[in-house]
Structure 1
């Protein structure tokens, strides 16, 4: 009993210190980080990858044997994606084996200016008011930089602080948010920042037959998002979300994790993106460590006490931890935005966090409609929940993403007002169709027989 009292006192003191520090930060207006608006990219209809087109693209690869052909079709069947996802124009046109720099830049420009034009128009903020610009595109670095293209197009101010991030993988958008937060904290005045997050698919299509590299061709789709942020507390009532905490885990010091996913050439010199067999175990370790870091900082004190007592005191007679010691994230989180990296990824996180099917509905529907758009995927999930009018003032939202390196990043947001579906929401034209009780898998219908093949 004395041990229990001591533990409770220590936890209470820690909670009080954390609460006071957090309160002090909230009262410092420039220490805040708000999302005022965001715009997800929806490519034109002619860029949709249907079942038929996906099969044709695979057939075009003359380097594939029967075994590799079946492997790719099995991957498509189990991907969880529908027929309305989008690809770059050069691949749809059959020019994937010889992409040009123009293809890569055109893919980015189409996304940049479609979302940023809408962002400035719908937020009422002028390009000349932007103080910080962060662009993250992992697999494309141009000279001049991608940020310079945006600055030139919109004639932004000479003193705008610009950053181009590459190589960060699917977790890049949360890293960009962290960078913006750090800049806000270093400044002594209100600022506007824009994060532009996407991935370059056009020049990175793998045309070889290495199974560990052709898999990425099935997993990734075109997309992107532009996000407007500010540290101006006077704009709080206009904000959608306020950043409460951001937690970054990097497993790069472990060789196995570092090499689990990376851009490389195969034995024939063909460039592609390698996904190793040890990727699931690396992701699991990074996720476990990230959860350990964020759990004590995002959970209510009542839940922390319950977990601590359960883990330290209530033991089974066999010596194991009692069932009551299980982590209960739903005690402090209202919505979960998971990275839609694939059906298997969603199932694994669902099991780890003990989530219901309703909790993972937004990410499953995002995967089905838009696919895995890399670093921008989380914002399509946000758009889904907002379109469903499920975000109420005071709700707490947890975002979880993974990235090469190997990284697991997460952040906690607070909803600042009841959010209704914007007229320009990315899901506007189809939200009434989701969720469906039985999301049809067109790839299963056409290629399901492959799973029975030897």
Structure 2
């Protein structure tokens, strides 16, 4: 626990705090989701002034809990949204981006969290106990729009999004795996291959994303140096990262706070310094690994430290089981106000 990077003030599901981790009920799972989703959405609607009746798209990014009716249906019912609202439960921001192509001047909400309570491991296998140390309760809700009239109010503008999946690689596929132990306790096995799988998926993703965001001069410099070194058979210096000056086109790095090993491996792969990795490390320390919602805690830390200025670009790096890497680049449009997540201000 001491070396995990997790602090002592993170949040656990109610059934775990009550000592019922071995007997979580369906209602426990629903209550955990409702607390996070409805609390953050109430804050979101109050802060933006957007009415639930104006929402045209609802996306819930939760991979370990799929009730019937769905989580998006619960949101639609709770806020009595209109009957033509489009609802989905996966892919989040990129899915909204695709739907916006056919839904003009629309509002979308994306809820990012994870169901931890029913998936708490109660056995004794060490490789499966690690998930109990890393994963914590938390989440956030975001409002997205393609309505041009809101450009002056937007905090961030999505400029680029690239998705990569390396599930065909057996080592990467098995690095984060949900299964039962020998006596039937369900949980997640996190292997030593996990940081390496993350680095591999990230490298493949950035080969597509970086040419879209870095200046042409930097791409040309890298290309010339790469082929020159290849011709004279000069090895890359140890710890040199990707060989590109990422900061020529990116100002901030929002790294998925999945664990200390993941953050360190991403930092090593991209040759990032401690200042670049501080937001991810501090989000991990304060909130733990809250799955897809964790990136927004990292962003909240950047805002709280007043690191973000109008015009800055943010590379958001998301890693997940499968193994997948979904990265996007945001441009800061206005000064960021306080970001509400799961009822706590960060």
TM-score of the pair, normalised by structure 1: 0.72
Distance across 2 between alignment mates of 1:81 and 1:298: 33
Alpha carbons 1:103, 1:202 under 8 Å: kept:
yes
Q: 36, 50, 56: which one pairs with 1:131?
A: 56
Aligned 1:152-301 pairs, distance under 5 A: 152-165=77-90, 175-187=91-103, 189-301=104-216
Distance across 1 between alignment mates of 2:59 and 2:247: 32
1:85 and 2:2 are equivalent in the alignment:
no
| Deviations, residues 373-401 of structure 1 (Å, cap 9, x unaligned) | 11100000111111222211111100001
Distance across 1 between alignment mates of 2:333 and 2:299: 14
| Deviations, residues 267-293 of structure 1 (Å, cap 9, x unaligned) | 211111122333233222211111211
Alpha carbons 2:198, 2:325 under 8 Å: kept:
yes
Alpha carbons 1:387, 1:428 under 8 Å: kept:
no
Over 3 Å counting, the alpha-carbon distance change for 1:342 and 1:88 in structure 2 is same
Over 3 Å counting, the alpha-carbon distance change for 1:269 and 1:321 in structure 2 is closer
Distance across 1 between alignment mates of 2:232 and 2:164: 35
Structure with higher helix content: 1
The DSSP-based 3-state class of the residue aligned with 1:237 is coil
| Deviations, residues 91-115 of structure 1 (Å, cap 9, x unaligned) | 0011111110111101111111111
TM-score of the pair, normalised by structure 2: 0.94
- The Cα RMSD (Å) is 2.1
Q: 103, 108, 118: which one pairs with 2:43?
A: 118
Distance across 2 between alignment mates of 1:430 and 1:180: 25
Q: CA deviation at 1:210?
A: 1.6
Distance across 1 between alignment mates of 2:233 and 2:211: 27
Q: CA deviation at 1:429?
A: 8.8
Bigger drift between 278-287 and 334-343 goes to 278-287
The DSSP-based 3-state class of the residue aligned with 1:362 is helix
1:140 and 2:55 are equivalent in the alignment:
no
The DSSP-based 3-state class of the residue aligned with 1:294 is helix
Distance across 2 between alignment mates of 1:369 and 1:180: 29
The DSSP-based 3-state class of the residue aligned with 2:225 is helix
Alpha carbons 1:311, 1:321 under 8 Å: kept:
no
Bigger radius of gyration among the two: 1
Q: CA deviation at 1:425?
A: 5.0
1:332 and 2:249 are equivalent in the alignment:
yes
Q: CA deviation at 1:321?
A: 5.2
Distance across 2 between alignment mates of 1:299 and 1:428: 37
Alpha carbons 1:184, 1:191 under 8 Å: kept:
yes
Over 3 Å counting, the alpha-carbon distance change for 1:357 and 1:88 in structure 2 is same
Q: CA deviation at 1:320?
A: 3.5
Distance across 2 between alignment mates of 1:430 and 1:207: 31
1:346 and 2:271 are equivalent in the alignment:
no
Alpha carbons 1:387, 1:427 under 8 Å: kept:
no
Q: CA deviation at 1:318?
A: 5.3
Aligned 1:294-333 pairs, distance under 5 A: 294-313=209-228, 319-320=234-235, 326-333=243-250
